[in-house]
């Protein structure tokens, strides 16, 4: 005995529902917008460097940023002088000729820069550079 299986085909066409799709895209948009504001890279720290005509580009092993408020920032994190001592000591164990670059804001109190440099020299860092921006020479015009 054979049984017949009848397959009914519906006459309605399949539809794509856009409301759930829009909800998912909107949630992704919010996620990326919020998460990108939480990421702070060292390059995004605003430090206005002083300008010098004789500025040179050098390879820097350790980059220390000093904000105009005198805060020390290393790799995007706020550090104390004691923490920087430990970081430099550990780096000097690996490479005794490590170059430490200090990116000090041009409005920072001069004493703070000297304090950081003195601390670095105290732990054995001898290659310390102060970062500047390249200043464009203006040709003097005579009237």
Q: For 30-79, how does the pLDDT look when each residue is reduced to its tens digit (9 = 90+)?
A: 988 887 766 655 555 566 666 666 656 656 688 899 998 899 999 888 99
Domain boundaries, the chain: 44-134
Task: Note the pTM of the prediction, 2 decimals.
Answer: 0.57
Q: Considering just the CA atoms, what is the radius of gyration of the chain in Å?
A: 29
Q: Hey, what long-range contacts does 16-24 have (CB within 8 A, 24 or more apart)?
A: none
**C-alpha–C-alpha distance, residues 39 and 114, integer Å:** 30
In this prediction, residue 141 carries a pLDDT of 55
DSSP state of 69: T
In the predicted model, what is the mean pLDDT of residues 2-22? 76
**C-alpha–C-alpha distance, residues 51 and 40, integer Å:** 25
Query: Smallest Cα–Cα separation from 129: which of 57, 71, 79, 72?
Result: 57
DSSP H or E run through 112: helix 110-122
44-134 domain in CATH 3.30.420.270? Answer: yes
């Amino acid at each position: 005995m054979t049984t017949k299986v009848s397959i009914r085909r519906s006459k309605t066409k399949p539809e794509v529902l856009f409301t759930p799709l829009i909800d998912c895209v909107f949630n992704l948009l919010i996620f990326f917008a919020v998460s990108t504001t939480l990421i702070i890279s060292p390059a995004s720290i605003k430090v206005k460097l002083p300008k010098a005509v004789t500025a040179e580009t050098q390879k820097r092993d350790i980059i220390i940023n000093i904000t105009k408020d005198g805060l020390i920032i290393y790799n995007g994190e706020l550090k104390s002088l004691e923490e920087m001592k430990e970081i430099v000591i550990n780096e000097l164990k690996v490479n005794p000729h490590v170059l430490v670059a200090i990116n000090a804001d041009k409005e920072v109190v001069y004493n703070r820069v000297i304090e950081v440099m003195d601390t670095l020299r105290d732990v054995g860092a001898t290659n310390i550079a102060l970062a500047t921006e390249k200043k464009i020479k203006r040709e003097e015009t005579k009237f």
